[in-house]
Amino acid sequence: MIKEFTNQKIDLFKVCVIIPTYNNCKTLARVIDGVLLYTTNIIVVNDGATDATLEILKKYPQIQQIHLSKNKGKGNALRIGLAHAQKHNFKYAITIDSDGQHFSEDIPVFITALEKAENKNILLIGARNMNQESVPKKSSFGNKFSNFWFWVETGIKLKDTQSGYRLYPLEELAKLNFYTSKFEFEIEVIVKAAWNDIIVKNVPVKVLYDETERVSHFRPFKDFTRISILNTWLVMVTFLYIKPRNFFQNLKKKGIKRFFVEDFLGSHDSPTKKALSIALGTFIGLSPFWGFHTVLVFFLAITLKLNKVIAFGFSNLSLPPFIPFIIYASSKIGQFILGTNYSYTIEEISTDFEVFKHLKTYIVGSFSLAIISATLLGVFSYVFFVIFHKKINHNE
């Protein structure tokens, strides 16, 4: 009954199942047979297998097959399978690994989650129990490592970001650009999906690690290096582009007044946390780390568990129109502290001010200005928020 119901929903939502495979002849037939219990909408991507895969697939003429002449990696196979699925008018694709670790009876879990979702622009990842005894320690560690960086890059906390058992929204993915072709593609795709307002969430699935059958093609050194390089790039893009973009999009969408009321005053953070966020943003914005303000403020806000929106907002004290005034004030404070004296105007600072000639003075003054301003604004805002929160609680 469940299988018939799932089959109907699969057709209703135009879902197919993609099985990328490379030298998994021991488990491939079992995986295909399991999926066939729910649907014949199957696309197998043979990624240049050199074992008995081709002979096995000859027994399944009823399913779609793509045979690649050379092995180019799981990411490449998935991208080809996803593009093929969209070309054949499928709206969603469930991907399942051919190594036998996934259970076909979890297909209804994805379909039910899709049916219940109000927003169908959704990407579902099967969350495995990585604490069970059969799961290799290196796999459990790798998953935690991946989960952490996904959170840094998107702000979304997931239990499992490495599972290959997923449901993809094909039309939305077709709008995105991808550059990886190995195992790291499964990280790139979920990060970019989250960046582009696709809902990314976990659904619970079972997992089987049978070392007597399972063949893993993950190369610890090469693939981990690829993943680390990708995460480094994604983190840079996150701090330099995505988070500032989201901030200004939110500001533009809400308007300054509504943004101030909802995200600043209306934040549920404590007065201490808000004040420290303001102090951090002010300090970074006035510090001499030009070109790195955005990276630093988001990194420190995340590390210190402060309000990223508030911290970033106040770091924009160093917007271009204010830069000459900040340099002027920093230099004057630096002169006072170091006991030096030289004269110049605001106009000279913005044109031909010899900043390197007075670099020591500027740096000392800049840090001093940042510390003084951050302290004053932090204390003032703390008092303000304490009074504001008391007033709100009293009215309630």
Q: Are strands 64-68 and 122-127 parallel, antiparallel or unpaired?
A: unpaired
Q: Of 110-124, 176-190, 230-244, where does mean pLDDT reach its minimum? A: 230-244
Residues 191 and 232 in one domain: yes
Query: Average pLDDT, stretch 348-376?
Result: 76
Q: Of 98-102, 139-143, 173-177, where does mean pLDDT reach its minimum? A: 139-143
Residues 278 and 172 in one domain: no
pLDDT higher than 80, residue 183: yes
**Is this structure's pTM higher than 0.85?**
no
Residues 169 and 34 in one domain: yes
Q: In 10 A of CB 252, how many CB atoms?
A: 10
- Largest pairwise CA distance in the chain: 88
Q: What pLDDT is attached to residue 170?
A: 97
The parent domain of residue 235 ranges over: 2-239
pLDDT higher than 80, residue 345: no
Residue 184 domain-assigned?
yes
Q: What pLDDT is attached to residue 5?
A: 60
Q: How confident is the model at residue 267 (pLDDT cuts 50, 70, 90)?
A: low
Residues 380 and 303 in one domain: yes
Q: Of 127-136, 307-316, 356-365, where does mean pLDDT reach its minimum? A: 127-136
Residue 245 domain-assigned?
no
Domain boundary among 210, 239, 268: 239
Residue 100 domain-assigned?
yes
Domain boundary among 239, 272, 295: 239
| Mean of all residue pLDDT scores within the chain | 85
Q: Of 47-61, 113-127, 207-221, where does mean pLDDT reach its minimum? A: 207-221
Residue 97 domain-assigned?
yes
Query: Average pLDDT, stretch 257-266?
Result: 63
**In this structure, what CATH number is given to the domain that contains residue 14?**
3.90.550.10
Residues 285 and 214 in one domain: no
Decide: helix, strand or coil at residue 46: strand
How far, in Å, CA of 17 to CA of 40, rounded?
A: 9
Residue 248 domain-assigned?
no
93 burial class (0-12, 13-18, 19+ CB within 10 angstroms)?
A: buried
Number of domain units in the chain = 2
Q: How confident is the model at residue 266 (pLDDT cuts 50, 70, 90)?
A: low
Residues 141 and 200 in one domain: yes
Residues 91 and 196 in one domain: yes
pLDDT higher than 90, residue 190: yes
